Structure 1
Amino acid sequence: MSNFEPNAVIRGFQLTVVGTLRALYNPELFKYEHFRQAALAVVVGIVIQIVIQIPIVAVKFAIYLMSWIINLDHATWDDKLLNGMDFMSNSVLQVPFLLMTLMRYLTPTLDEIFMQSIQWVDSTYIQKHKSEDPDTLRAMYYPHLIQYSTKGKTGGSRPVAEALMAFANRYAKKIGLILGVYLLSLLPIVGRFVMPAASFYTFRDHVGTVPAAAIFGAGLILPKRFIVMFLHTYFASRSLMRELLEPYFSRIQFTSQQKRRWFRDREGVLFGFAFAFTVVMRTPFIGVLMYGVAQASTAYLITKITDPPPVPAESEGFAESQVTWKNKHDFLRLSLDNLDRINVAMDDDSKSSSQSYSGKKFT
């Protein structure tokens, strides 16, 4: 449980709260086009939900009519059918999250929110420590990160159609997995073991055999809907965290293996951070609007779990150096009001960049 220890998950929750508060203090945040797009997504989401609910209401009405002809008091198939349709609507399709994720590939607003929030975090850090020796402060993130291209090493950006297809493949695989496990859980006799077994298999590599076995045991006792909700929230949190970190990974180029190791070393904190936002985003209407706040809060998260990047010309080997979270244990031991105490030693170039940046007017 070294990477998924309770202390790391709790610290992830705390970073959600602190990062959100920092983001909401930013006067530039709500000026972005993103929030007008989010309002449009709310309207579109309502329309889609109405369309989805039409067949559900029709089936419920048909079952109601059948109950006048057939005695359904002792039948269970009708409850299973309705529960399955509600499960598809609320847990599998995830319409609001899908809409906001698609917007990332169609407009640059979420990327702009991330970068402006990185700038805001730097300026807030400077103001908070303005009475301290500048040589003891960490390097800034924004001045160097803004110099990185989002087009990758090849210099050519991935076509929108290709990016959308990759996202659709990931989304389809996740839906297929959740739906497949749910359908298997409906089988007689063995069905009651499917959800607990899926939970054990999913968490064993992340939290260890003993905690995973405890989850398996709880799955045999608790109602199936709780296990479904738990698994869905877990997978949704992982997907959300991947999308929120896209502005960072589109600039700092990691190989697939490096990225897996990067996530693995931070998975406890990332889960705690994304889990809180995943729960909030399930709130009707408000959830979609919170996506932009989550993206802004991710900027604060990045400054706590990575080192400030060098200039692009000196970035060779930087990605590999970030795979292991160097200050993890020190950071996890900090009290909540001392989250800025971990400072990064700066070289001469970073110091001069920080000093020139500290006098810059932030817009």
Structure 2
Amino acid sequence: MSNVDIPNAILRGAQLTIVGALRALQNPRLFNETLYKQAAIAVAASLAIRLVIAIPTVLVRILLWFFGFIIDFQSSGFDVRTVSGLAFIEKSVLQLPFFLMACMRFVSPAMDEMFMKSLQWVDQTYVVKHKADDPSTLRAMYYPNLQMYNSDSVPSNEPHEKKSSYVAIMAFCQKYARRAGISMAIYLLTFMPWIGPFVLPAASFYSLNKAVGPLPAMVFFMLGFVLPKRWMVFFLQGFFASRSLMRELLEPYFSRIHFTKDQKNRWFRDREAVLFGFGLGFYMLLKTPWVGVLVYGIAEASTAYLITKITDPPPAPSESAGFAETQIAWKNKHEFLKLRLDDIDKLNEQAANREDRHFHKE
């Protein structure tokens, strides 16, 4: 993707955040007893997450209160700065709320079910919207074939499946721990003399150069010297968290359509800007107190709509050999980015889909 297309792709991703959420919320199948139960669980989970995150801060407050009888913190404001700094590290540097929300998919199939129900709804609304068109010109459906694939991300009571889920949880925790360690190291380096002021600008340039191009990366590099440290940390963590969020939201798709690690990396790279715009929008909404987990569910449902714009309809499992390789390049990328928002559903690649569905026969 050229640097000229990147801002447009990010904007289109942000637009898909809104359109996808609206489409998902129009699905009557989501508004049933199960959804209300999940919504109640989500709110309770949000409360639990906030309580868990608050524990270190409360403990520090108690210690500071105890030592306050011996040391005068009031004049220096040390206690206020300490508590504020700890809360900032928990929420913005280590991203603990996001980590705890992402862990939910390992213990409940709700996110996977929401994705599949929404995908079915997207197919149904597409057919209704184009009921006056020639059926032979319509795209193939996504849900009928995708639901035939076994998902690796749905928790199961089977012993071997439990072992697989445990391995997945440990891999996720290790990935998060590595990312959190890097974030914490960068944050601590900012306090070092001489090199401290250069750490965040350099980190922002390195992170953004590949994603949005050298010019925007250079702009943020320069801003890093004038913006407050907290603003830069918030921006960088938002960038990384939105990318991580997209990988989690797309897990119901990748747990069915299997890609190699290299194929998956190339798949993300070809759609990086759009996914960043989509993920950033929901990342901002996820920071809403108390309802963050509920927003996470809406984001998962919206991802089903996103999938229909950046991939081809999957073949039946018996015909899936080699399908992943054909999906690495986003075939209608430039055409899709040029569409007006009102015409976002008009792009039709039926001919290409037919060719892809028979790629293994050629």
TM-score bracket, normalised by the shorter chain, equals 0.7 to 0.9
Is 2:135 the partner of 1:134? yes
Corresponding residue to 1:47 among 38, 46, 51: 51
Letter in 2 for 1:11: R
Letter in 2 for 1:107: S
Q: 1:132 to 1:60 in 2, by over 3 A?
A: farther
Letter in 1 for 2:209: R
The answer for the alignment partner of 1:10 in structure 2 is: 11
TM-score (normalizing by structure 2)? 0.88
Partner of 1:159, secondary structure, is helix
Partner of 1:316, secondary structure, is coil
Mark the runs of 5 or more structure 1 residues left unpaired by the alignment: 351-363
1:211 CA drift (Å)? 2.4
Q: 1:187 to 1:273 in 2, by over 3 A?
A: same
Matches within 5 A, 1:77-92: 81-92=82-93
Mark the runs of 5 or more structure 2 residues left unpaired by the alignment: 154-159, 356-362
The answer for the alignment partner of 2:323 in structure 1 is: 318
1:54 CA drift (Å)? 0.4
Q: Tell me how far apart the structure 1 counterparts of residues 313 and 7 of structure 2 sit (CA, whole Å).
A: 27
1:63 CA drift (Å)? 8.1
Q: 1:188 to 1:61 in 2, by over 3 A?
A: farther
Corresponding residue to 1:170 among 154, 157, 175: 175
Q: Comparing 64-73 with 54-63, which one deviates more in the overlay? A: 64-73
Corresponding residue to 2:286 among 281, 284, 289: 281
The answer for the alignment partner of 2:156 in structure 1 is: none
Matches within 5 A, 1:46-195: 46-58=50-62, 61=65, 68=72, 72=76, 81-151=82-152, 159-195=164-200
Contact 1:139 1:344 in 2 (8 A): no
Q: Tell me how far apart the structure 1 counterparts of residues 101 and 56 of structure 2 sit (CA, whole Å).
A: 18
The answer for the alignment partner of 1:36 in structure 2 is: 40
Matches within 5 A, 1:248-287: 248-287=253-292
The answer for the alignment partner of 1:354 in structure 2 is: none
Contact 1:63 1:78 in 2 (8 A): no
Contact 2:94 2:184 in 1 (8 A): no
Q: 1:333 to 1:64 in 2, by over 3 A?
A: farther
The answer for the alignment partner of 1:216 in structure 2 is: 221
Q: 1:70 to 1:323 in 2, by over 3 A?
A: closer
Q: 1:39 to 1:98 in 2, by over 3 A?
A: same
Q: 1:12 to 1:24 in 2, by over 3 A?
A: same
Q: How many residues align?
A: 344
1:58 CA drift (Å)? 3.4
Q: 1:217 to 1:63 in 2, by over 3 A?
A: farther
Matches within 5 A, 1:325-340: 325-340=330-345
Q: Tell me how far apart the structure 2 counterparts of residues 104 and 84 of structure 1 sit (CA, whole Å).
A: 30
Q: 1:144 to 1:84 in 2, by over 3 A?
A: same
Over the matched positions of the two proteins, sequence identity in percent amounts to 51
Letter in 2 for 1:2: S
Q: Tell me how far apart the structure 2 counterparts of residues 63 and 90 of structure 1 sit (CA, whole Å).
A: 26
Contact 2:115 2:303 in 1 (8 A): yes
Contact 2:61 2:83 in 1 (8 A): no
Contact 2:263 2:324 in 1 (8 A): yes
Aligned-CA RMSD value: 2.5
Q: Deviation digits for residues 292-333 of structure 1, max 9, x if unmatched? A: 100000000000000001111111121111000000000000
Contact 2:204 2:221 in 1 (8 A): yes
Is 2:205 the partner of 1:204? no
Contact 1:195 1:227 in 2 (8 A): yes
Q: Comparing 280-289 with 37-46, which one deviates more in the overlay? A: 37-46
TM-score (normalizing by structure 1)? 0.87
1:201 CA drift (Å)? 1.5
Letter in 1 for 2:48: V
Q: 1:63 to 1:199 in 2, by over 3 A?
A: farther
Q: Deviation digits for residues 186-245 of structure 1, max 9, x if unmatched? A: 112321111111111112222233322221111011111110000111111011100000
Contact 1:139 1:346 in 2 (8 A): no
Q: Tell me how far apart the structure 2 counterparts of residues 69 and 172 of structure 1 sit (CA, whole Å).
A: 33
Contact 1:118 1:300 in 2 (8 A): yes
Q: Tell me how far apart the structure 2 counterparts of residues 247 and 163 of structure 1 sit (CA, whole Å).
A: 14
Letter in 1 for 2:39: F
The answer for the alignment partner of 2:303 in structure 1 is: 298
Q: 1:202 to 1:69 in 2, by over 3 A?
A: closer
Q: Deviation digits for residues 332-357 of structure 1, max 9, x if unmatched? A: 0000111111112159999xxxxxxx
Contact 2:119 2:142 in 1 (8 A): yes
1:84 CA drift (Å)? 3.0
